[in-house]
Structure 1
Amino acid sequence: MKRILIPALAGSLLATVSLLAAAPAGAAAAPASTAPVARGVPAQAVDITVTPDGFDAPPTLRAGSATLSVRSTDPSGAWLGLVRLRPGITLDRYLDDLRRAMGDDPAEAVEGSRAVAGDVEMLGGVAVAHDPASATIPLTPGDHYLIDFRDAGLPDLASRVRPVRVVPGHAGPHVRPTARITLTDGRFDAPPALTGPALVVNRSRQHNEAMLMPVRPGTSLADLDVFFTAVDAGRRPTGSPFTGGPTGVVPLSPGRSVTLCAELPPGTYALVTWVRDLRTGRMFAAQGMRALIRVGE
């Protein structure tokens, strides 16, 4: 079943994907470093493979933290995120609002995104394209749902969502970050280079994400601005600065954090978000929330 790529909550890659060249072949993946967890605290790992037909997930996890290691056999990749319904919100209501948030009408998408922000706490997760990646997520007891946001336009969305109950316990992380990326209101605070796992923290007033996308040699911040200004205005850009799809952290609610560990080929990447500013209705990236980062070097 074909997935629909759509524009708001986790952003739209529709224009981008259609313009992307194939990712450069032959580049060696750089394994991310890991560190041992504290003695006596068991780690909790979940391996998930996403296919065009969906994915499977464990029905229960222990409180503490869990590392979701994700790979995709779907050419369009996966945007896997964990959410927790707020009191009084049903799953059906959330999914209806999510469909609106991920629709192709910008005004409707912003209204849907505002509704989604009131429906759920977004714990984050991981987006993958060609290369596997993992997200280590802090967990507290309660009922949660794991969802591939790329499924939001499919008629069988509800059957693709996986309920996950977090039970009392104490699970430790698998990796410790060596860098930090902070999402503030309208910009990224990020190091110039990443050589290991990164702690991604949302310190802004709304949900947001952090995506790494490989760029063509010589790409500048001005090139990114031209591209996102066109996309934000509903125009089809004449070219794309990107050579591959996104790997990164899917939307996080304010105050949430995730540790991202990705096996990416070394090179220059754009750090971007496809989320819209709920106050202005414009894409954050078109308002200057973007950066260029060296990965694995």
Structure 2
Amino acid sequence: MKRRLRISAFMAILSASTIAGPARAEAAPAGAVDITVTPSGFTAPASVRAGALTLNVRSQDPQGAWIGLVRLRPGVPLDLYLRHLAQAMDDDPRTSVAGGRAVAEDVVMLGGAAAGHIPAAVTTVVTPGRYHLVDFRDVREPDFAQRVRPLRVVGSAAGSRTPSPPAVITAPAVITATDSGFVAPRRLTSGAPVLVVNRSSQFNEAMLMPVRPGTTPADLDAFFSGTGGYPFTAGPTGVVPMSPSRAALLTTALPPGEYALVTWVRNLRTGRMLAQEGMREPVTIAPADTPIP
């Protein structure tokens, strides 16, 4: 049976750890931020209104972009978080795990969009406060700190007496990250919104990567065990790391074909990549006019 979740249900997930089905509560009026990433960085507005916020990410950088939205926890300075983030993305598992654990204590991660040559949009919900937009691909750049963009979220517009109509977005598909792996449909429709939920015990992501035609689960197993060749034909598109019990809505018009749903995040207990531990699934992207069964 087709499941259709409204944006109001998606918003409720951000403050609850379970999905109780489509909710009827009104959603906050949606806003959007257009972000174009170049090899020298990106620009973003200094402030946005609280509510449903969509990050429309387009990359002019051949390496792509991983734009994430984070909120520092009280008392954590930005430079400390950035230092821990660099450690979390180190190739040495010991350094990476220590950094990842520190990052989880430093910030709340609200997700964001990974985009290559195909733009991607991710919708999350923000409450008033101070946030930062970070391109995780820039972490090794010498001017990384200068590339981070502060974002102030303010309350509803003053003087507005008539509330805007609620934003309604249908999500025919749901991808859930759990400690046992991904729970996801085997087929998604290009351009259709997908609700991504993190029900695992640590921060996690959901990346769609195109693979060579005919790639099997055994091929993915072989690659991640170090006994097989590289099956991917392009970089990732998807939702960058979110803290546990967070959710985001992904919309991207990926070309139809065969993909793998993966996470490149390390298990903060074992030090191994979660994809190596089985967090990977084959997914087919169907044309936009193809109904989901």
TM-score (norm 2): 0.83
> CA separation of 1:116/1:140 partners in 2, compared to 1, >3 Å: closer, same or farther?
same
Asked whether the equivalents of residues 65 and 137 of structure 1 are also in contact (C-alpha less than 8 Å), the reply is yes
Task: Give per-residue Cα distances to partners, 1:62-101, cap 9 Å, x unaligned.
Answer: 1111111111010000000000001110001000101111
- Higher RCO structure, 1 or 2 (CA under 8 Å, sep 6+): 1
Say yes or no: does 1:64 pair with 2:58. no
Out of 265, 282, 286, the residue aligned to residue 272 of structure 2 is: 282
Out of 190, 209, 232, the residue aligned to residue 213 of structure 1 is: 209
Q: Which runs of 4+ in 1 moved over 2 A?
A: 35-43, 169-176
Residue of structure 2 in register with 1:248 after alignment: 238
Residue of structure 2 in register with 1:263 after alignment: 253
Say yes or no: does 1:291 pair with 2:281. yes
Residue of structure 2 in register with 1:201 after alignment: 197
Distance (Å, rounded) in 2 between the aligned partners of 1:45 and 1:167: 14
Q: CA deviation at 1:173?
A: 4.9
Distance (Å, rounded) in 2 between the aligned partners of 1:138 and 1:153: 29
Out of 69, 81, 88, the residue aligned to residue 94 of structure 1 is: 81
Q: Which residues in structure 2 correspond to 1:58-207 (within 5 Å)?
A: 58-169=45-156, 173=167, 175-195=169-189, 196-207=192-203
Asked whether the equivalents of residues 44 and 174 of structure 1 are also in contact (C-alpha less than 8 Å), the reply is no
Say yes or no: does 1:226 pair with 2:216. no
Distance (Å, rounded) in 2 between the aligned partners of 1:211 and 1:173: 26
- Report the 3-state secondary structure (helix = DSSP H, G, I; strand = E; otherwise coil) of the residue aligned with 1:284: coil
Which consecutive unaligned segments of at least 5 residues does structure 2 have?
1-5, 9-24, 157-162, 288-293
Asked whether the equivalents of residues 215 and 269 of structure 1 are also in contact (C-alpha less than 8 Å), the reply is yes
**What amino acid sits opposite 2:148 in the alignment?**
V
Q: CA deviation at 1:140?
A: 1.0
Task: Give per-residue Cα distances to partners, 1:110-140, cap 9 Å, x unaligned.
Answer: 1101100100000000101120010001111
> CA separation of 1:36/1:91 partners in 2, compared to 1, >3 Å: closer, same or farther?
closer
Task: Give per-residue Cα distances to partners, 1:212-263, cap 9 Å, x unaligned.
Answer: 0001111111111111222xxxxxx763111111000000000100000011
Q: CA deviation at 1:268?
A: 1.2
- Report the 3-state secondary structure (helix = DSSP H, G, I; strand = E; otherwise coil) of the residue aligned with 2:42: coil
| Sequence identity percentage | 60
**What amino acid sits opposite 1:188 in the alignment?**
F
> CA separation of 1:197/1:238 partners in 2, compared to 1, >3 Å: closer, same or farther?
same
Distance (Å, rounded) in 2 between the aligned partners of 1:173 and 1:77: 29
> CA separation of 1:127/1:87 partners in 2, compared to 1, >3 Å: closer, same or farther?
same
Residue of structure 1 in register with 2:15 after alignment: none
Q: CA deviation at 1:174?
A: 7.1
Asked whether the equivalents of residues 28 and 51 of structure 2 are also in contact (C-alpha less than 8 Å), the reply is no
TM-score (norm 1): 0.82
Distance (Å, rounded) in 2 between the aligned partners of 1:83 and 1:266: 31
Which consecutive unaligned segments of at least 5 residues does structure 1 have?
1-34, 231-236
Asked whether the equivalents of residues 46 and 151 of structure 2 are also in contact (C-alpha less than 8 Å), the reply is yes
> CA separation of 1:186/1:276 partners in 2, compared to 1, >3 Å: closer, same or farther?
farther
Distance (Å, rounded) in 1 between the aligned partners of 2:76 and 2:180: 29
> CA separation of 1:284/1:41 partners in 2, compared to 1, >3 Å: closer, same or farther?
closer
Residue of structure 1 in register with 2:21 after alignment: none
Distance (Å, rounded) in 2 between the aligned partners of 1:288 and 1:40: 35
Alignment length, in residue pairs?
257
